[in-house]
Structure 1
Amino acid sequence: MNEPVTSETYAAQVRRLADLTARVHAQREEARTWYERQCAAADRAVAEADEQVRHAEQELADARELQERVDAEAAHLWQQLRGRLGVGGRRLTGPPAPAAGAEGDPVLLLHRVRELLDRTRQPGELPGSVNPMLVLCGAAGAVLAYGLGMGARAAGVGYGGDLAVGMPVLALVVTLLGPLVGLVPAKVLADRRHAVLGPRPITVVLVAGVLTTALLLVLGR
Protein backbone atom coordinates (compact mmCIF):
# COMPACT_ATOMS: atom_id res chain seq x y z
CA MET A 1 0.00 0.00 0.00
CA ASN A 2 1.10 3.57 -0.76
CA GLU A 3 2.20 5.57 2.15
CA PRO A 4 0.42 8.87 2.65
CA VAL A 5 2.28 12.03 1.67
CA THR A 6 3.00 14.30 4.48
CA SER A 7 2.00 17.92 4.39
CA GLU A 8 5.62 19.01 4.45
CA THR A 9 6.43 16.98 1.30
CA TYR A 10 3.36 18.30 -0.45
CA ALA A 11 4.29 21.87 0.38
CA ALA A 12 7.81 21.30 -0.95
CA GLN A 13 6.43 19.92 -4.19
CA VAL A 14 4.13 22.91 -4.57
CA ARG A 15 7.03 25.28 -3.97
CA ARG A 16 9.12 23.36 -6.49
CA LEU A 17 6.32 23.50 -9.04
CA ALA A 18 5.90 27.22 -8.48
CA ASP A 19 9.62 27.73 -8.84
CA LEU A 20 9.68 25.75 -12.10
CA THR A 21 6.68 27.69 -13.37
CA ALA A 22 8.41 30.98 -12.59
CA ARG A 23 11.58 29.83 -14.32
CA VAL A 24 9.65 28.70 -17.41
CA HIS A 25 7.79 32.02 -17.47
CA ALA A 26 11.09 33.93 -17.21
CA GLN A 27 12.64 31.84 -19.98
CA ARG A 28 9.59 32.43 -22.14
CA GLU A 29 9.81 36.15 -21.53
CA GLU A 30 13.52 36.04 -22.33
CA ALA A 31 12.85 34.10 -25.54
CA ARG A 32 10.07 36.50 -26.51
CA THR A 33 12.35 39.50 -25.88
CA TRP A 34 15.15 37.88 -27.89
CA TYR A 35 12.74 37.12 -30.73
CA GLU A 36 11.42 40.67 -30.77
CA ARG A 37 14.96 42.02 -30.81
CA GLN A 38 15.90 39.71 -33.68
CA CYS A 39 12.80 40.76 -35.62
CA ALA A 40 13.58 44.43 -35.03
CA ALA A 41 17.19 43.91 -36.13
CA ALA A 42 16.02 42.05 -39.23
CA ASP A 43 13.56 44.86 -40.04
CA ARG A 44 16.34 47.42 -39.66
CA ALA A 45 18.63 45.34 -41.87
CA VAL A 46 15.93 45.06 -44.54
CA ALA A 47 15.24 48.79 -44.37
CA GLU A 48 18.96 49.56 -44.65
CA ALA A 49 19.28 47.14 -47.57
CA ASP A 50 16.33 48.79 -49.31
CA GLU A 51 17.91 52.19 -48.78
CA GLN A 52 21.22 50.95 -50.16
CA VAL A 53 19.42 49.51 -53.20
CA ARG A 54 17.64 52.82 -53.82
CA HIS A 55 20.92 54.68 -53.41
CA ALA A 56 22.68 52.30 -55.79
CA GLU A 57 19.89 52.64 -58.36
CA GLN A 58 20.12 56.44 -58.15
CA GLU A 59 23.90 56.29 -58.53
CA LEU A 60 23.47 54.02 -61.55
CA ALA A 61 20.96 56.41 -63.12
CA ASP A 62 23.25 59.39 -62.46
CA ALA A 63 26.21 57.47 -63.91
CA ARG A 64 24.26 56.62 -67.06
CA GLU A 65 23.14 60.22 -67.46
CA LEU A 66 26.72 61.42 -66.99
CA GLN A 67 27.97 58.86 -69.49
CA GLU A 68 25.45 59.96 -72.10
CA ARG A 69 26.31 63.62 -71.49
CA VAL A 70 30.06 62.92 -71.68
CA ASP A 71 29.67 60.84 -74.86
CA ALA A 72 27.61 63.58 -76.51
CA GLU A 73 30.07 66.30 -75.51
CA ALA A 74 33.05 64.18 -76.62
CA ALA A 75 31.42 63.58 -80.00
CA HIS A 76 30.73 67.32 -80.35
CA LEU A 77 34.32 68.27 -79.48
CA TRP A 78 35.63 65.59 -81.82
CA GLN A 79 33.53 67.03 -84.62
CA GLN A 80 34.95 70.47 -83.89
CA LEU A 81 38.47 69.05 -83.99
CA ARG A 82 37.77 67.46 -87.38
CA GLY A 83 36.55 70.80 -88.60
CA ARG A 84 39.70 72.51 -87.34
CA LEU A 85 41.90 69.98 -89.13
CA GLY A 86 40.10 70.61 -92.40
CA VAL A 87 40.81 68.09 -95.15
CA GLY A 88 43.07 66.07 -92.87
CA GLY A 89 40.27 65.68 -90.36
CA ARG A 90 38.08 63.86 -92.86
CA ARG A 91 40.24 60.76 -92.50
CA LEU A 92 39.33 60.58 -88.81
CA THR A 93 36.38 58.41 -87.87
CA GLY A 94 34.54 58.56 -84.57
CA PRO A 95 36.02 59.73 -81.26
CA PRO A 96 38.53 57.36 -79.64
CA ALA A 97 37.34 54.84 -77.07
CA PRO A 98 37.93 55.61 -73.37
CA ALA A 99 41.43 54.72 -72.25
CA ALA A 100 41.70 51.78 -69.87
CA GLY A 101 42.46 52.81 -66.31
CA ALA A 102 41.77 56.50 -67.01
CA GLU A 103 41.16 58.55 -63.89
CA GLY A 104 39.83 62.02 -63.23
CA ASP A 105 36.57 63.89 -63.57
CA PRO A 106 35.42 63.52 -67.20
CA VAL A 107 33.50 66.80 -67.03
CA LEU A 108 36.68 68.63 -65.99
CA LEU A 109 38.70 66.92 -68.71
CA LEU A 110 36.13 67.85 -71.36
CA HIS A 111 36.15 71.42 -70.07
CA ARG A 112 39.92 71.55 -70.55
CA VAL A 113 39.57 70.16 -74.07
CA ARG A 114 36.93 72.77 -74.84
CA GLU A 115 39.21 75.55 -73.59
CA LEU A 116 42.07 74.19 -75.71
CA LEU A 117 39.87 74.14 -78.82
CA ASP A 118 38.68 77.66 -78.06
CA ARG A 119 42.27 78.88 -77.86
CA THR A 120 43.28 77.17 -81.08
CA ARG A 121 40.13 78.39 -82.80
CA GLN A 122 41.16 82.01 -82.32
CA PRO A 123 43.50 82.81 -85.24
CA GLY A 124 46.33 85.26 -84.87
CA GLU A 125 47.47 87.97 -87.21
CA LEU A 126 49.64 87.23 -90.21
CA PRO A 127 53.35 87.32 -89.30
CA GLY A 128 55.71 89.90 -90.73
CA SER A 129 57.43 87.24 -92.80
CA VAL A 130 54.52 87.30 -95.30
CA ASN A 131 54.83 91.03 -95.94
CA PRO A 132 56.44 90.45 -99.37
CA MET A 133 53.46 88.34 -100.38
CA LEU A 134 51.12 91.04 -99.11
CA VAL A 135 52.98 93.62 -101.16
CA LEU A 136 52.64 91.33 -104.16
CA CYS A 137 48.88 91.02 -103.51
CA GLY A 138 48.51 94.80 -103.40
CA ALA A 139 50.58 95.31 -106.54
CA ALA A 140 48.76 92.53 -108.40
CA GLY A 141 45.38 94.01 -107.49
CA ALA A 142 46.45 97.44 -108.70
CA VAL A 143 47.79 96.01 -111.96
CA LEU A 144 44.59 94.05 -112.53
CA ALA A 145 42.40 97.09 -111.89
CA TYR A 146 44.59 99.23 -114.11
CA GLY A 147 44.30 96.64 -116.89
CA LEU A 148 40.52 96.60 -116.56
CA GLY A 149 40.53 100.39 -116.67
CA MET A 150 42.61 100.39 -119.83
CA GLY A 151 40.19 97.90 -121.38
CA ALA A 152 37.28 100.15 -120.45
CA ARG A 153 38.97 103.15 -122.07
CA ALA A 154 39.68 101.18 -125.21
CA ALA A 155 36.08 100.01 -125.33
CA GLY A 156 34.87 103.59 -125.01
CA VAL A 157 37.10 104.76 -127.82
CA GLY A 158 36.06 101.82 -130.00
CA TYR A 159 32.31 102.23 -129.56
CA GLY A 160 32.31 106.03 -129.46
CA GLY A 161 29.26 108.04 -128.58
CA ASP A 162 28.25 108.21 -124.93
CA LEU A 163 30.56 105.34 -124.12
CA ALA A 164 33.50 107.42 -125.18
CA VAL A 165 32.60 109.82 -122.38
CA GLY A 166 31.45 107.41 -119.68
CA MET A 167 33.99 104.61 -120.04
CA PRO A 168 37.03 106.75 -119.14
CA VAL A 169 35.27 107.80 -115.95
CA LEU A 170 34.49 104.17 -115.16
CA ALA A 171 38.06 103.25 -116.00
CA LEU A 172 39.36 105.82 -113.54
CA VAL A 173 37.09 104.55 -110.78
CA VAL A 174 38.16 100.96 -111.40
CA THR A 175 41.82 101.99 -111.42
CA LEU A 176 41.46 103.87 -108.13
CA LEU A 177 39.82 100.82 -106.56
CA GLY A 178 42.86 98.75 -107.50
CA PRO A 179 44.43 98.85 -104.01
CA LEU A 180 41.25 97.32 -102.57
CA VAL A 181 41.35 94.47 -105.08
CA GLY A 182 44.57 93.25 -103.50
CA LEU A 183 42.72 92.56 -100.26
CA VAL A 184 40.95 89.60 -101.90
CA PRO A 185 44.07 87.42 -102.42
CA ALA A 186 45.42 88.67 -99.09
CA LYS A 187 42.29 87.36 -97.36
CA VAL A 188 42.72 84.00 -99.09
CA LEU A 189 46.33 83.92 -97.89
CA ALA A 190 45.22 84.65 -94.33
CA ASP A 191 42.56 81.94 -94.41
CA ARG A 192 45.04 79.33 -95.59
CA ARG A 193 47.34 80.23 -92.73
CA HIS A 194 44.41 80.23 -90.25
CA ALA A 195 45.08 83.87 -89.44
CA VAL A 196 43.14 87.11 -89.51
CA LEU A 197 43.73 89.96 -91.91
CA GLY A 198 44.44 92.57 -89.27
CA PRO A 199 45.20 96.29 -89.57
CA ARG A 200 48.92 95.81 -90.32
CA PRO A 201 48.49 93.37 -93.24
CA ILE A 202 45.65 95.51 -94.64
CA THR A 203 47.88 98.60 -94.46
CA VAL A 204 50.71 96.78 -96.26
CA VAL A 205 48.37 95.68 -99.05
CA LEU A 206 46.77 99.11 -99.45
CA VAL A 207 50.08 101.00 -99.43
CA ALA A 208 51.52 98.62 -102.02
CA GLY A 209 48.38 98.99 -104.13
CA VAL A 210 48.32 102.77 -103.91
CA LEU A 211 52.00 103.07 -104.84
CA THR A 212 51.57 100.66 -107.75
CA THR A 213 48.48 102.50 -108.97
CA ALA A 214 50.25 105.85 -108.77
CA LEU A 215 53.23 104.45 -110.65
CA LEU A 216 51.03 103.02 -113.39
CA LEU A 217 49.13 106.28 -113.75
CA VAL A 218 52.39 108.20 -114.05
CA LEU A 219 53.79 105.76 -116.59
CA GLY A 220 50.53 105.72 -118.56
CA ARG A 221 50.54 109.42 -119.28
Structure 2
Amino acid sequence: MNQPVTSESYAAQLRRLAELTTKVGEQRAEAHTWYERQCAAADRAVADAAGQVRRAEEELIAAREQQEMVDAEVAHLWQQLRQRLGGGARRLGGPPAPAGGAAADPVLLLSRARDLLDRTGQPGELPGSVNPLLALCGVTGALLAYALGVAARALGVSYGGDLAVGMPVLALVVTLLGPLIGLVPARLLADRRHAVLGPRPIIVVLGAGLLTTALLLVLGR
Protein backbone atom coordinates (compact mmCIF):
# COMPACT_ATOMS: atom_id res chain seq x y z
CA MET A 1 0.00 0.00 0.00
CA ASN A 2 1.05 3.59 -0.70
CA GLN A 3 2.46 5.42 2.22
CA PRO A 4 0.73 8.65 3.16
CA VAL A 5 2.39 11.84 2.12
CA THR A 6 3.34 14.18 4.86
CA SER A 7 2.28 17.81 4.84
CA GLU A 8 5.92 18.91 4.68
CA SER A 9 6.56 16.81 1.56
CA TYR A 10 3.35 18.06 -0.09
CA ALA A 11 4.28 21.65 0.58
CA ALA A 12 7.72 21.04 -0.89
CA GLN A 13 6.18 19.57 -4.01
CA LEU A 14 3.92 22.59 -4.38
CA ARG A 15 6.88 24.93 -4.06
CA ARG A 16 8.76 22.87 -6.60
CA LEU A 17 5.79 22.99 -8.97
CA ALA A 18 5.46 26.72 -8.49
CA GLU A 19 9.14 27.19 -9.21
CA LEU A 20 8.89 25.04 -12.34
CA THR A 21 5.80 26.94 -13.46
CA THR A 22 7.58 30.25 -12.98
CA LYS A 23 10.65 29.04 -14.81
CA VAL A 24 8.57 27.68 -17.68
CA GLY A 25 6.74 31.03 -17.88
CA GLU A 26 10.03 32.91 -17.99
CA GLN A 27 11.37 30.61 -20.68
CA ARG A 28 8.12 30.94 -22.64
CA ALA A 29 8.27 34.75 -22.37
CA GLU A 30 11.91 34.68 -23.42
CA ALA A 31 11.01 32.45 -26.39
CA HIS A 32 8.19 34.85 -27.39
CA THR A 33 10.57 37.79 -27.11
CA TRP A 34 13.20 36.04 -29.23
CA TYR A 35 10.56 35.08 -31.81
CA GLU A 36 9.27 38.63 -32.02
CA ARG A 37 12.82 39.95 -32.42
CA GLN A 38 13.51 37.43 -35.18
CA CYS A 39 10.26 38.36 -36.94
CA ALA A 40 11.08 42.05 -36.65
CA ALA A 41 14.59 41.45 -38.00
CA ALA A 42 13.15 39.37 -40.84
CA ASP A 43 10.62 42.11 -41.64
CA ARG A 44 13.40 44.71 -41.71
CA ALA A 45 15.51 42.49 -43.96
CA VAL A 46 12.55 41.98 -46.31
CA ALA A 47 11.83 45.72 -46.34
CA ASP A 48 15.51 46.49 -47.04
CA ALA A 49 15.61 43.90 -49.81
CA ALA A 50 12.40 45.31 -51.31
CA GLY A 51 13.89 48.81 -51.18
CA GLN A 52 17.06 47.62 -52.89
CA VAL A 53 15.02 45.88 -55.58
CA ARG A 54 12.94 49.03 -56.10
CA ARG A 55 16.05 51.20 -56.35
CA ALA A 56 17.65 48.71 -58.72
CA GLU A 57 14.55 48.79 -60.93
CA GLU A 58 14.58 52.60 -60.93
CA GLU A 59 18.28 52.62 -61.80
CA LEU A 60 17.65 50.10 -64.57
CA ILE A 61 14.85 52.24 -66.03
CA ALA A 62 17.04 55.35 -65.81
CA ALA A 63 19.93 53.48 -67.45
CA ARG A 64 17.69 52.32 -70.29
CA GLU A 65 16.38 55.84 -70.82
CA GLN A 66 19.93 57.20 -70.81
CA GLN A 67 21.00 54.49 -73.25
CA GLU A 68 18.15 55.38 -75.62
CA MET A 69 19.05 59.07 -75.33
CA VAL A 70 22.73 58.37 -75.94
CA ASP A 71 21.98 56.12 -78.93
CA ALA A 72 19.69 58.77 -80.44
CA GLU A 73 22.27 61.53 -79.89
CA VAL A 74 25.06 59.37 -81.35
CA ALA A 75 22.95 58.67 -84.44
CA HIS A 76 22.17 62.40 -84.79
CA LEU A 77 25.81 63.46 -84.44
CA TRP A 78 26.92 60.72 -86.81
CA GLN A 79 24.40 61.90 -89.39
CA GLN A 80 25.69 65.46 -89.04
CA LEU A 81 29.25 64.21 -89.52
CA ARG A 82 28.24 62.33 -92.66
CA GLN A 83 26.60 65.47 -94.01
CA ARG A 84 29.74 67.50 -93.32
CA LEU A 85 31.96 64.97 -95.05
CA GLY A 86 29.68 64.65 -98.07
CA GLY A 87 30.64 61.89 -100.50
CA GLY A 88 33.54 60.73 -98.33
CA ALA A 89 31.10 59.62 -95.64
CA ARG A 90 30.29 56.40 -97.49
CA ARG A 91 33.40 54.78 -96.04
CA LEU A 92 32.28 55.51 -92.49
CA GLY A 93 29.37 53.12 -92.36
CA GLY A 94 27.20 53.21 -89.26
CA PRO A 95 27.90 54.79 -85.87
CA PRO A 96 30.70 53.14 -83.86
CA ALA A 97 29.76 50.54 -81.26
CA PRO A 98 30.11 51.41 -77.56
CA ALA A 99 33.63 50.87 -76.22
CA GLY A 100 33.85 48.06 -73.72
CA GLY A 101 34.89 48.97 -70.18
CA ALA A 102 34.43 52.72 -70.72
CA ALA A 103 33.95 54.43 -67.37
CA ALA A 104 33.52 58.03 -68.57
CA ASP A 105 30.18 59.80 -68.46
CA PRO A 106 28.55 59.31 -71.89
CA VAL A 107 26.67 62.61 -71.58
CA LEU A 108 29.97 64.46 -71.08
CA LEU A 109 31.57 62.65 -74.00
CA LEU A 110 28.61 63.48 -76.23
CA SER A 111 28.79 67.12 -75.17
CA ARG A 112 32.48 67.25 -76.12
CA ALA A 113 31.78 65.56 -79.45
CA ARG A 114 28.94 68.03 -80.13
CA ASP A 115 31.17 71.00 -79.34
CA LEU A 116 33.94 69.64 -81.56
CA LEU A 117 31.49 69.07 -84.40
CA ASP A 118 30.09 72.57 -84.00
CA ARG A 119 33.58 74.10 -84.08
CA THR A 120 34.58 72.15 -87.17
CA GLY A 121 31.32 73.04 -88.88
CA GLN A 122 31.56 76.77 -88.35
CA PRO A 123 32.74 78.63 -91.45
CA GLY A 124 36.02 80.47 -91.03
CA GLU A 125 37.54 83.57 -92.56
CA LEU A 126 38.88 83.46 -96.08
CA PRO A 127 42.69 83.19 -95.96
CA GLY A 128 44.92 85.97 -97.20
CA SER A 129 46.12 83.76 -100.05
CA VAL A 130 42.83 84.35 -101.90
CA ASN A 131 43.24 88.15 -101.89
CA PRO A 132 44.32 88.16 -105.57
CA LEU A 133 41.15 86.25 -106.47
CA LEU A 134 39.08 88.69 -104.41
CA ALA A 135 40.73 91.62 -106.16
CA LEU A 136 40.03 89.93 -109.50
CA CYS A 137 36.36 89.69 -108.49
CA GLY A 138 36.31 93.42 -107.83
CA VAL A 139 38.04 94.19 -111.14
CA THR A 140 35.71 91.87 -113.04
CA GLY A 141 32.63 93.46 -111.48
CA ALA A 142 33.87 96.94 -112.35
CA LEU A 143 34.67 95.92 -115.95
CA LEU A 144 31.30 94.27 -116.36
CA ALA A 145 29.46 97.28 -114.99
CA TYR A 146 31.50 99.64 -117.17
CA ALA A 147 30.76 97.52 -120.24
CA LEU A 148 27.05 97.64 -119.43
CA GLY A 149 27.33 101.42 -119.04
CA VAL A 150 29.03 101.75 -122.41
CA ALA A 151 26.31 99.60 -123.97
CA ALA A 152 23.63 101.74 -122.34
CA ARG A 153 25.19 104.97 -123.64
CA ALA A 154 25.53 103.49 -127.10
CA LEU A 155 21.89 102.42 -126.99
CA GLY A 156 20.85 105.95 -126.03
CA VAL A 157 22.89 107.44 -128.86
CA SER A 158 21.46 105.04 -131.40
CA TYR A 159 17.81 105.62 -130.45
CA GLY A 160 18.10 109.32 -129.58
CA GLY A 161 15.31 111.29 -127.99
CA ASP A 162 14.67 110.70 -124.27
CA LEU A 163 16.91 107.63 -124.31
CA ALA A 164 19.84 109.79 -125.34
CA VAL A 165 19.30 111.79 -122.13
CA GLY A 166 18.38 108.98 -119.69
CA MET A 167 20.78 106.26 -120.78
CA PRO A 168 24.01 108.12 -119.85
CA VAL A 169 22.61 108.65 -116.35
CA LEU A 170 21.69 104.97 -116.10
CA ALA A 171 25.11 104.05 -117.47
CA LEU A 172 26.82 106.13 -114.77
CA VAL A 173 24.73 104.50 -112.04
CA VAL A 174 25.52 101.00 -113.34
CA THR A 175 29.22 101.86 -113.59
CA LEU A 176 29.33 103.12 -110.02
CA LEU A 177 27.69 99.87 -108.87
CA GLY A 178 30.50 97.86 -110.43
CA PRO A 179 32.45 97.30 -107.19
CA LEU A 180 29.31 95.87 -105.58
CA ILE A 181 28.85 93.46 -108.48
CA GLY A 182 32.23 92.00 -107.63
CA LEU A 183 30.84 90.84 -104.29
CA VAL A 184 28.69 88.23 -106.09
CA PRO A 185 31.57 86.04 -107.34
CA ALA A 186 33.44 86.72 -104.09
CA ARG A 187 30.49 85.31 -102.19
CA LEU A 188 30.46 82.24 -104.41
CA LEU A 189 34.18 81.80 -103.73
CA ALA A 190 33.58 82.00 -99.98
CA ASP A 191 30.74 79.48 -100.16
CA ARG A 192 32.86 77.00 -102.08
CA ARG A 193 35.56 77.26 -99.43
CA HIS A 194 32.99 77.03 -96.64
CA ALA A 195 34.02 80.42 -95.31
CA VAL A 196 32.40 83.73 -94.48
CA LEU A 197 32.82 86.86 -96.52
CA GLY A 198 34.15 89.00 -93.69
CA PRO A 199 35.19 92.64 -93.58
CA ARG A 200 38.68 92.09 -94.99
CA PRO A 201 37.55 90.23 -98.16
CA ILE A 202 34.80 92.80 -98.72
CA ILE A 203 37.31 95.65 -98.43
CA VAL A 204 39.64 93.91 -100.91
CA VAL A 205 36.81 93.42 -103.43
CA LEU A 206 35.40 96.92 -103.06
CA GLY A 207 38.87 98.52 -103.10
CA ALA A 208 39.86 96.76 -106.31
CA GLY A 209 36.49 97.52 -107.85
CA LEU A 210 36.56 101.21 -106.91
CA LEU A 211 40.11 101.61 -108.20
CA THR A 212 39.21 99.91 -111.48
CA THR A 213 36.05 102.00 -111.84
CA ALA A 214 37.95 105.21 -111.20
CA LEU A 215 40.60 104.31 -113.78
CA LEU A 216 37.97 103.40 -116.34
CA LEU A 217 36.11 106.66 -115.81
CA VAL A 218 39.32 108.67 -116.12
CA LEU A 219 40.41 106.80 -119.25
CA GLY A 220 36.96 106.98 -120.77
CA ARG A 221 36.84 110.77 -120.79
Corresponding residue for 2:145? 145
How many equivalent residue pairs? 221
Provide the aligned C-alpha RMSD in A. 2.5
Mapping of residues 161-172 of structure 1, within 5 Å = 161-172=161-172
Distance 1:55 1:206, change over 3 A: same
Mapping of residues 81-160 of structure 1, within 5 Å = 81-86=81-86, 88-89=88-89, 95-160=95-160
Moved more, 98-107 or 5-14: 5-14
Measured after TM superposition, the shift of residue 34 of structure 1 is 0.9
Moved more, 31-40 or 148-157: 148-157
Distance (Å, rounded) in 2 between the aligned partners of 1:4 and 1:181: 143
Distance (Å, rounded) in 2 between the aligned partners of 1:207 and 1:18: 123
Corresponding residue for 2:35? 35
Corresponding residue for 1:217? 217
Distance 1:163 1:191, change over 3 A: same
CA offsets 1:62-101 (integer angstroms, 9 cap, x no match): 3333334334443443344344435545776654332222
Structure 2 length-normalised TM:
0.85
Distance (Å, rounded) in 1 between the aligned partners of 2:157 and 2:193: 44
Sequence identity of aligned pairs in percent? Answer: 79
Corresponding residue for 2:64? 64
The answer as to 2:11 corresponding to 1:14 is no
Corresponding residue for 1:173? 173
Distance 1:49 1:79, change over 3 A: same
CA offsets 1:98-154 (integer angstroms, 9 cap, x no match): 222222112222222232233334333211111111111111111221222222223
Moved more, 2-11 or 165-174: 2-11
* Structure 2: gaps of 5 or more residues: none
* Secondary structure of 1:100's aligned partner: coil
Distance (Å, rounded) in 1 between the aligned partners of 2:154 and 2:102: 73
Measured after TM superposition, the shift of residue 160 of structure 1 is 3.0
The answer as to 2:207 corresponding to 1:207 is yes
Corresponding residue for 1:48? 48
Moved more, 192-201 or 27-36: 192-201
* Secondary structure of 2:98's aligned partner: coil
Structure 2 counterpart of 1:175, one-letter code:
T
Structure 1 length-normalised TM:
0.85
Moved more, 167-176 or 17-26: 17-26
